[in-house]
């Protein structure tokens, strides 16, 4: 079993929001691996980072993605750092992957003062730029379609994804 679509991109690109709307449009179930990780760990992502550190989070993330790819047939949104793992990128090579692009300005506005993303704490714009620059080639490597979300409404973005995947 494979998801109908897998959504990747940097924090603030709208993976969780757009993935959920896309699932409603297709009338399929939505899953987000960050929510899966929080449910099975019984702790928030922020707490997992503080208590166990990023390497532990990444290993939970790798396992959550592998499990979801083999069991979920709806739309699946991943966390922004999921593409850092080579084994995950290898699994994604067989999937329909939507890369949501976003400008630094829009991403920074969208994540705002939300402190649930531990990697962005302290200097949101600077950390986002660093992550986006380093990960861009990895998102591009796994993408089947690339959709720019900057300055666009979620509905408009979902329309483009549906067209691109049809």
Annotated binding site for Mg(2+): 16
Q: How far is the CB of 125 from Mg ion (least distance, A)?
A: 19
Q: How far is the CB of 156 from ligand ADP (least distance, A)?
A: 8
- 134-163 residues near ligand ADP, rule: CB under 6 A: 149, 152-154, 157
Strands (E), 4-156: 5-8, 30-32, 75-77, 97-101, 145-148
DSSP 30-69: EEEHHHHHHHHHTS-HHHHHHHH-HHHHHHHHHHHHHHHH
Instruction: Compute the distance between CA of residue 67 and CA of residue 24 in angstroms, rounded to an integer.
Output: 22
> Among 106, 68, 65, 104, which Cα is nearest to 83's?
65
Taking the least distance from each CB to ligand S3P, the nearer of 62 and 117 is 117
Asked if 157 and 149 touch (Cβ cutoff 8 Å), the reply is yes
Instruction: Compute the distance between CA of residue 77 and CA of residue 37 in angstroms, rounded to an integer.
Output: 12
Contact of residue 119 among ligand ADP, ligand S3P, Mg ion, none (CB under 5-8 Å per partner type): ligand S3P
Q: How far is the CB of 16 from ligand S3P (least distance, A)?
A: 5
Give the CB-nearest residue to ligand ADP.
14
- Paired tokens of 76: 């699946």
Asked if 82 and 7 touch (Cβ cutoff 8 Å), the reply is no
Q: How many CB atoms sit inside 10 A of residue 66's CB? A: 15
Contact of residue 166 among ligand S3P, Mg ion, ligand ADP, none (CB under 5-8 Å per partner type): none
Contact of residue 31 among ligand ADP, ligand S3P, Mg ion, none (CB under 5-8 Å per partner type): none
- 9-28 residues near ligand ADP, rule: CB under 6 A: 9, 11-17
Contact of residue 81 among ligand S3P, ligand ADP, Mg ion, none (CB under 5-8 Å per partner type): ligand S3P
Q: Is 16 in the site for Mg ion (CB under 5 A)?
A: yes
Q: How far is the CB of 110 from Mg ion (least distance, A)?
A: 11
């Amino acid at each position: 079993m494979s998801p109908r679509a897998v959504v990747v991109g940097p924090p603030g690109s709208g993976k969780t929001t757009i993935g959920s709307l896309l699932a409603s449009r297709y009338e399929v179930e939505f899953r987000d691996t960050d929510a899966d990780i929080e449910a099975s760990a019984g702790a928030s992502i922020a707490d997992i980072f503080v208590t166990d550190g990023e390497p532990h989070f990444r290993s939970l993330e790798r396992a959550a993605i592998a499990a979801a790819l083999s069991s979920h047939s709806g739309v699946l949104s991943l966390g922004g750092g999921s593409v850092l793992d080579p084994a995950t990128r290898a699994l994604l090579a067989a999937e329909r992957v939507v890369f949501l692009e976003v400008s630094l300005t829009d991403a920074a506005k969208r994540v705002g003062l939300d402190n649930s993303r531990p990697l962005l704490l302290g200097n949101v714009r600077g950390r986002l730029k660093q992550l986006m620059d380093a990960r861009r080639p990895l998102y591009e490597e796994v993408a089947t379609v690339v959709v720019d979300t900057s300055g666009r409404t979620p509905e408009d973005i979902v329309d483009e994804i549906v067209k691109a995947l049809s």
